[in-house]
Structure 1
Amino acid sequence: MSSDPPGFELPLRLFLGFRTLIDELHAELARQGHPDLRPMHGFVMQAIGTRGTTAAELGRRLGVSKQAAGKTVDTLERLGYVERASDPDDARRKIVRLTARGADSLTRSARVFDALRARWAETIGEDRLRAMEADLRTLTPHDVFRLDVPGWFGYQ
């Protein structure tokens, strides 16, 4: 009889670690003036980027339909995180871009993630955390900024 945990526990523990970090991030962002942000919004704003994008391109980046991307953009626009503007290169197209509030939320997110990482380092030790990060880099694809998670999760 093996003392190893069952294989299905590994993905659940990895996901639970992700979920723990994201839940703590959003609790802190709420305290810092961004109570309406949801995990999906972070992926969307990262996919919009600093230069902006069209709804069709946003859908492709996220792995979702243009309509699904548009609904999320509608929500973020209503909350003041993004705006739609005419494309300077093609007046027929609309560009979605971050507002100052959207950029602020991403800047704050980066700081909160740094603080959360530091807390994990305090809990398990910097050496163990660095080893875990190195092991995950070995085991996972090099493209850490895959934004197609919404589509992968079936958000359409």
Structure 2
Amino acid sequence: MPSDPPGFELPLRLFLGFRVLIDGVHAELARQGHPDLRPMHGFVFQAIGPEGTTAAELGRRLGISKQAAGKTIDSLEQLGYVERGSDPRDARRKVIRLTQRGVDSLVRSARIFDDLRARWAEALGEERLRALETDLRKVTPSEVFRLDIPGWFGGY
């Protein structure tokens, strides 16, 4: 009878599964015209949200410094994914918003994630994949979108 794998293997396998999916999304995004996007950018786009946000708030949401958020904004602005503008309610406040290119990358990534999930369902079987997803919901917090992962990993 085989022995149980060591406890440290579970988080590594979960992380490897995450990595396989994220690498797959980014490889396909690159093929579809978004070669400059990096895994953390998806967290940034989600933290910016549909209404936009400030650099300070972006930093808080991501768990990184305002300076790191500012550098990220500068980079994404140069790539055409975000733009800075004035807040209509307070002209002193600069709001970062996604451009059409940023929104396009999110729409494409959602479709690609669906395609990758379908491939996993084909490889594992739909019932087993659904059981895995159900089991992961039992042992993880209900809040799916933890945007502070960049800060948790040590920022960038």
| TM-score of the pair, normalised by structure 1 | 0.98
Is residue 120 from structure 1 mapped to residue 105 from structure 2 by the alignment? Answer: no
3-state DSSP of counterpart to 1:94: strand
State how far apart, in whole Å, the 2-side matches of 1:2 and 1:108 are.
43
Residue 117 (structure 1) shift: 0.1
Rounded Cα–Cα distance in structure 2 between residues aligned with 1:61 and 1:132:
29
- Secondary structure in 2 aligned to 1:86? strand
Aligned to 1:97: 97
* 1:17-58 deviations in Å (ceiling 9; x for gaps): 000000000000000000000001110011001110000000
Q: 3-state DSSP class of the match of 1:71?
A: helix
Aligned length: 156
The aligned residue for residue 50 of structure 2 is: 50
Deviation at 1:2, TM superposition (A): 6.2
Match of 1:24 in 2: 24
Give, in whole Å, the separation in 1 of the partners of 2:100 and 2:154. Answer: 30
**C-alpha separation between the residues in 2 aligned to 1:150 and 1:56?**
15
- Alpha-carbon distance in structure 1 between the residues aligned to 2:40 and 2:140: 22
One-letter amino acid of the structure 2 residue matched with residue 45 of structure 1: F
Equivalent position of 1:79 in the other structure: 79
Give 3-state SS (helix, strand or coil) of 1:144's partner: coil
SS of equivalent to 1:118: helix
Instruction: Please tell me whether residue 135 in structure 1 is matched to residue 154 in structure 2.
Output: no
Deviation at 1:100, TM superposition (A): 0.2
Distance 2:10 2:141 in 1: 17
The separation in 2 between residues aligned to 1:110 and 1:147, in whole angstroms, is 17
1:4 and 2:9 aligned: no
> How far apart in 1 are the matches of 2:100 and 2:152?
29
Show structure 1 runs of 5+ residues with no match: none
* Percent identity of paired positions between Structure 1 and Structure 2: 79
Q: Could you tell me which amino acid in structure 2 is paired with residue 137 of structure 1?
A: R
- C-alpha distance in 1, partners of 2:87/2:56? 13
> Normalising by the residue count of structure 2, what TM-score does the alignment of the two structures yield?
0.98
CA distance in 2, matches of 1:155, 1:54: 18
Counterparts of 1:88 and 1:113 in 2: how far apart (Å)? Answer: 35
For the residue of structure 2 that corresponds to 1:101, the secondary structure is helix
Q: How does 1:56-71 map to 2 (within 5 A)?
A: 56-71=56-71
